[in-house]
Amino acid sequence: MGVPGHVRDVDISPSDLQGVWGFSSNASRRACNSHTDPTLFISASIADTVSVIAGRDFFSFNHEIKMNPFDLPTATIEDLVRQHGTPIYIVSREQIAENYRRLDRALPAVTLFYAVKANPHEGILRTLSGIGAGFDVASKGEIDAALATGADARKDLIFADTVKDPRHIEHATGVGLDDFTFDNRSEITQIARHAPGANVHVRIRVSNEGSVAHLSEKFGARPDDAVPLLLAARDAGLNPSGVSFHVGSQCLVVDRYLEALDTVHAIFGEARAKGMDLEFVDIGGGFPVRYQDEDFDIEVMGRIISDRYRELFDDHVKLVAEPGRAVVGDAVALVTKVISESERDGRDWLYFDDGVFGSFLEVVLYQQIYPFRTNTNGPVRSYVLAGPTCDCIDVFSRDGQGRVDPVSLPEMHLDDLLIVGAMGAYTYAESTRFNGFAPPAFVYID
Ligand SMILES: Cc1ncc(COP(=O)(O)O)c(C=O)c1O
């Protein structure tokens, strides 16, 4: 039996899109604006503060991002759907490369290792490998996916997950990867057993306040345990080289990086006093994506972080980062179709061919609110949006507390399309096969 909604991943040559993607000049942007596209609509749950932007030109949203597939004209999206079905991810390689390069420019002293966990799709990894990115991997599967792009295990890969399956450490060693993060003594034992003599750095727990995902709840040693752990690693025959942290995913507060760097600096001093000269700082990921109207500037964040690094550390201290979300988030738009509709307890429900067990898990996990558009143009109505599976949790219109909450959209019925922006990070990567539904197919447009 065929899996509903499943289509082959495809690659579209730029010439296929000629004339519809012409955002490189103001003239063509103006031409696109005259299209009868409905506007960007946002979740009713944030409508109190931002209000539903009915009638607004959607090109003014994310205006600095020229290749965001969310901005494609509706006619082009409908065309892609005619060719490839739904649900699909529309992916811009150019946007991925631009996001990576922007981070690289903003953090000139930092070597970037893309966090494969954010989106491991082959085309994305190949794009990044092609422009010189390294990879932060967490498992055998991610190691193999990164190596398949031609990456060099020793030079281009770091194993930054602190909880490692020993079989995967063994695999890493076998292919030549020799850089591991740890945050407890049992990990020292595991690494020493399966990767004797490897380079290791200790991950510390830092404040994640203001970030969407609070990783420090689960990961990171207490800062006052860092030096004892590094000494224990040395005693176990490993090569302790530095300290890492993660300020939490979708971090909007640059001070979190600065506080963490201050803490690392203190640990470096403590280690020196114990005869250990550390030379490696991993500032993790956390760089944000614009889902709605979040106020940040990656270049400014990078400059502030770089200034603090220069104040605190000598040139011999190497900096690395493991960005995921900021590299792929806004390079992907999802298109999903209405496959059923009903009225329940006075509310209109729309059911789509993608949902929480596909692309929308972060709505439930972190109350993520994605930007929506439709290919319809009717009066604005209020809808509960749900996925196709048998589970009642499969509802992706939710408020900031995770409660089911309707959104305002132009009137939609069977076969109409919902276009969702900023769907690159932790969507496909976290999708399941629950109820036999396959994740959306990838359509690369440049
Ligand atoms: C160890 C590690 N590195 C990097 C990342 C990527 O973080 P982000 O996507 O917020 O940049 C994560 C995210 O969970 C992580 O756990």
Query: What is the Cα–Cα distance from 60 to 53, expressed in whole angstroms?
Result: 11
Minimum-distance ligand 1 atom for the alpha carbon of 251: 10
The per-residue pLDDT for range 42-58, each reduced to its tens digit, is 333 322 222 222 222 22
Dist. CA 135 → ligand 1 center (Å): 11
Q: No. of H helices and E strands in the chain?
A: 14, 19
> Which residue's alpha carbon is at the smallest distance from atom 14 of ligand 1?
249
Confidence of residue 25 (pLDDT cuts 50, 70, 90): very low
Per the CB < 8 A criterion, the answer to whether 160 and 138 are in contact is: yes
Q: Virtual CA dihedral for 337, 340, 343, 344, nearest 10 degrees?
A: -100
- Among 89, 85, 77, CA closest to 428: 89
Break the chain into its structural domains and give their ranges.
10-92+331-444, 94-328
**Ligand 1 pocket: which of 110, 322, 327, 365 to mutate (most atoms <8 Å of CB)?**
322
**Ligand 1 pocket: which of 249, 289, 301 to mutate (most atoms <8 Å of CB)?**
249
Per the CB < 8 A criterion, the answer to whether 231 and 210 are in contact is: no
Q: What is the pLDDT of residue 325?
A: 98
Dist. CA 200 → ligand 1 center (Å): 18
Yes or no: domain 94-328 corresponds to CATH 3.20.20.10: yes
The per-residue pLDDT for range 111-134, each reduced to its tens digit, is 999 999 999 999 999 999 999 999
> Which residue's alpha carbon is at the smallest distance from atom 5 of ligand 1?
285
Comparing 56-70, 170-184, 235-249, which segment has the lowest mean pLDDT?
56-70
CATH pick for 10-92+331-444 out of 2.40.37.10, 2.60.40.10, 3.40.190.10, 3.40.50.2000: 2.40.37.10
> Which residue's alpha carbon is at the smallest distance from atom 7 of ligand 1?
285
Could you give the 3-state DSSP secondary structure of residue 91? strand
The per-residue pLDDT for range 277-322, each reduced to its tens digit, is 999 999 999 999 999 999 999 999 999 999 999 999 999 999 999 9
Interacting residues of 131 by C-beta distance below 8 A, sequence separation 6+: 97, 100, 101
Confidence of residue 170 (pLDDT cuts 50, 70, 90): very high
Q: What is the pLDDT of residue 143?
A: 98
Dist. CA 372 → ligand 1 center (Å): 25
Q: What is the pLDDT of residue 67?
A: 80
Could you give the 3-state DSSP secondary structure of residue 103? helix
Distance of CA 153 to the CA centre of its chain: 23
Q: Kindly state the average pLDDT of the residues 210-220.
A: 92
Q: What is the pLDDT of residue 33?
A: 27
Dist. CA 140 → ligand 1 center (Å): 17
Give residue ranges with CB within 6 A of ligand 1.
115, 117-118, 136, 160-161, 215, 246, 249, 284-287, 322-326, 425
Three-state SS letters, 165-225: CHHHHHHHHHHCCCEEEECCHHHHHHHHHHCCCCEEEEEECCCCCCEEECHHHCCCECHHH
- In 3-state terms the chain splits into helix, strand, coil percentages (rounded to 5) of 35, 20, 40
Dist. CA 85 → ligand 1 center (Å): 32
Q: Centre a 10 Å sphere on the Cβ of residue 246 and count the other Cβ atoms it contains.
A: 30
Per the CB < 8 A criterion, the answer to whether 119 and 427 are in contact is: yes
**Ligand 1 pocket: which of 119, 246, 427 to mutate (most atoms <8 Å of CB)?**
246
Dist. CA 217 → ligand 1 center (Å): 14
Do 10-92+331-444 and 94-328 share a fold? Answer: no
Dist. CA 419 → ligand 1 center (Å): 26
Minimum-distance ligand 1 atom for the alpha carbon of 181: 1
Percent of the chain with pLDDT over 90: 83
